[in-house]
Amino acid sequence: MQFSLKEFLAIAGVVSVGTASLLYASSLVSGLWLAVVGALLMGAAIHSALLAGARRASAVGFLVAALVYTSALLTQSYDRNGYPVNREFEPWAGRFPTTIAMQRPYQGATFSRSYYTDENGNRYSQVPAGATVDDGFGGGGFAFGAAPPAPGALKVKQVSAPPMQQFMEVAHCLWTLLFGYVGGKYAVWLYTAATPPRSRPTPDPADLNQGI
């Protein structure tokens, strides 16, 4: 297996953009990643049908590995109170090692981006002095042992960012690409090891990069 400078730069770019996408995950960001993964899967399917040699092996390996992981994710969907949910999009409920591995990254992302907001929409990086935190049921919380808040005290609500669902959608897109990349590399290695040089198609310069 060979690694070109172009391939190394592409990997570095995906890692950089992926990290930023996890930190600032949103419906738009996760939607873009889903579109990218879908486009790559379609491209791999076309390449596996039309190309030959190492490039075809790479495309087939990418496609199979990515589809296997995606299919495994879909098996974890179930019905919760009439709503379809997937436990693998909740870091602390999922069973996959890839989901469990995202617990600390999600904690880090929410620690750096979560904030508090009052009823007027004002944002605070921490609870303002004398304010109470809305517990989500119309009540307010205050530190144990402290005096109860005065009537009319400012009430704030914690907003977790990035949203868990969108964060995990981006994460699983990245995992899909990783497994696809490894699957493609393994397929090329297997093809090279199993095919005598005389039986291989005429080398194409693009084959040297072993790209999809």
Whether residue 172 contacts residue 88, with contact meaning beta carbons closer than 8 Å, is answered with yes
pLDDT, residue 146, reads 43
Task: Give CA–CA dist 41/125, Å, rounded.
Answer: 41
Residue-wise pLDDT for 159-188, tens only, equals 778 999 999 999 999 999 999 999 999 999
Residue-wise pLDDT for 135-146, tens only, equals 554 444 444 444
Task: Give CA–CA dist 70/64, Å, rounded.
Answer: 10
Whether residue 182 contacts residue 11, with contact meaning beta carbons closer than 8 Å, is answered with no
Sorted by where each begins, the domain ranges of the chain are: 5-103+163-209, 116-159
Q: Is the dihedral of CA 73, 60, 170, 105 positive or negative?
A: positive
Whether cis (ω within 30° of 0) applies to the bond prior to 162 is yes
Reported confidence tier of residue 19, pLDDT bands at 50, 70, 90: very high
Q: pTM for this one?
A: 0.78
Task: Give CA–CA dist 167/33, Å, rounded.
Answer: 11
